[in-house]
Amino acid sequence: MNTSAHDFATTGRPRLQGKHALITGAGSGIGSAIAELFAREGADLALLDLTAAPAKAVGDALMKTTGRRMVAVGADVSSATQVDTAIAEAIDALGGLDILINCAGINVFGDPLQTTEQDWRRCLDTNLAGAWHCIRAALPTMLAAGYGHVVNIASVHGHKIIPGAFPYPVAKHGLIGLTRSLGIEYAARGIRVNSISPGLIMTPAAERYFQSCPDPEAERLRQAELLPCKRIGKPEEVAYAALFLASDEARFVNATDLLIDGGRSQIYHD
Ligand code: NAP
């Protein structure tokens, strides 16, 4: 019986054996795929989501299949106070923190002049400030150990602009800037900070976008056709990149961003 929620190949020696990782947005989509792959690679995990329940559901399933230790915490990443409390609890329960994956994020797409102050704040507070809150809460433990890897899940929207998707690209450009800035600030003290910029990946958030279109199936086909590889990406494909960046295999990779979009962003025009 296949007990896996995702399509991962069996690997050899676990690549994160003995590591402690905290993953935000772990209850769904890309975050839950990263959680599964990291647990399969030997890491003990703290899973953070808006509420603890979805993170706990993912954690309970992974504990059964991998035997790894799982801690579930709830926090809104846009609240520094909630993040400080949740991350302190997670570090305490895990007994340390080697890896932080900032995956919690939301789509806020619109016309600039129609964007309300509330939408602007919600977008920037979750997608940009949220990552900073988590890094700030994790850094003292990592700096004390002289070891830590941070991976921020940015977006192809952090590189290219799709009209009508405002202000999401503003936040994702900022997240790549945060990655570069902090990667440099703490490099000499054993901390690496990198980001991944996925293109369109089939997750519950992407499905919600398709369902918001007048003809979801037609939009799905249109999006796949725009990709050089003629298919939409899978959460597993982002998880493998996160595994590399969060592992010691990437020890000389710092303050950089890895695009995972099937090559779409390199096309100028047809
Ligand atoms: P998803 O399926 O909606 O998962 C996002 C997770 O983040 C959910 O569990 C969500 O919780 C959680 N979350 C949202 N706001 C939060 C907050 N304020 N505090 C704590 N947790 C919060 O989305 P996804 O597609 O996997 O996206 C994951 C990341 O990848 C996001 O940063 C997104 O911007 C980025 N990304 C996605 C794509 C794509 O095509 N899917 C492409 C590029 C980049 P709830 O479910 O409870 O709201």
Query: How far apart are the C-alpha atoms of 69 and 47, rounded to whole Å?
Result: 11
Amino acid at 5: A
Atom of ligand 1 nearest to the CA of 233: 40
Backbone angles phi, psi at 116, to 5 degrees: -80, 160
Q: Which atom of ligand 1 is nearest to the CA of 127?
A: 32
| Average pLDDT over every residue of 26-30 | 98
Residues touching ligand 1 (Cβ under 6 Å) are 24-25, 27-31, 49-50, 54, 76-78, 103-106, 126, 130, 153, 155, 198, 200-201, 203-206
- Where helices occur in 127-199 by DSSP H, the ranges are 130-145, 168-185
Cα-based distances in Å from 161 to 157, 168, 184: 6, 10, 26
Ligand 1 test: best mutation among 28, 179, 236, most atoms within 8 Å of CB?
28
In angstroms, the CA 243 to CA 49 distance is 20
Q: How far is CA 50 from CA 24, 74, 126, 203, in A?
A: 9, 5, 11, 17
Task: Tell me how far the alpha carbon of residue 103 lies from the centroid of ligand 1, in angstroms.
Answer: 6
Q: Which of 87, 160, 203, 212 to mutate to test the pocket of ligand 1 (most atoms within 8 A of CB)?
A: 203
Q: How far does the centroid of ligand 1 lie from the alpha carbon of residue 146, in Å?
A: 30
Count Cβ neighbours within 10 Å for each residue of 215-249 and write b for 16 or more, e otherwise.
eeeeebeebeeebeeeebbbbbbbbbbbbebbbee
Residue found by looking up tokens 């990198």 in the block: 194
User: What's the CATH superfamily of 20-199+234-260?
Assistant: NAD(P)-binding Rossmann-like Domain (3.40.50.720)
Of all protein residues, whose CA lies closest to atom 36 belonging to ligand 1?
Answer: 155
pLDDT band with cut points at 50, 70 and 90 for residue 6: confident
Which residue out of 147, 168, 186, 240 is catalytically annotated? Answer: 168
What is the C-alpha to C-alpha distance for residues 3 and 1, in angstroms, rounded to an integer? 6
The predicted-structure confidence for 81-139, as pLDDT tens digits, reads as follows 999 999 999 999 999 999 999 999 999 999 999 999 999 999 999 999 999 999 999 99
- CA-based angle 151:141:183, to the nearest 5? 35
* Residue burial 8-30, b: 16+ Cβ < 10 Å; e: rest: beeeeebbbeebbbbbbbbbbbb
Atom of ligand 1 at shortest distance to CA of 104? 7
Is 268 part of the annotated catalytic residue set? no
Single pTM value for the model: 0.97
Asked whether the beta carbons of 238 and 198 are under 8 A apart, the reply is yes
Render 10-51 in DSSP notation, one character per residue: --SS-TTTT-EEEEETTTSHHHHHHHHHHHHTT-EEEEEESS
Task: Quickly list DSSP for 87-142.
Answer: HHHHHHHHT--SEEEE------EE-GGG--HHHHHHHHIIIIIHHHHHHHHHHHHH
User: Probe ligand 1: pick from 201, 226, 261, max atoms within 8 Å of CB?
Assistant: 201
Mean pLDDT for the chain overall: 96
Closest approach atom of ligand 1 to CA 78: 18
Residue 1 has pLDDT above 50, yes or no: no
pLDDT band at residue 207 using 50, 70 and 90 as cut-offs: very high
Per-residue pLDDT tens digits for 81-94: 999 999 999 999 99
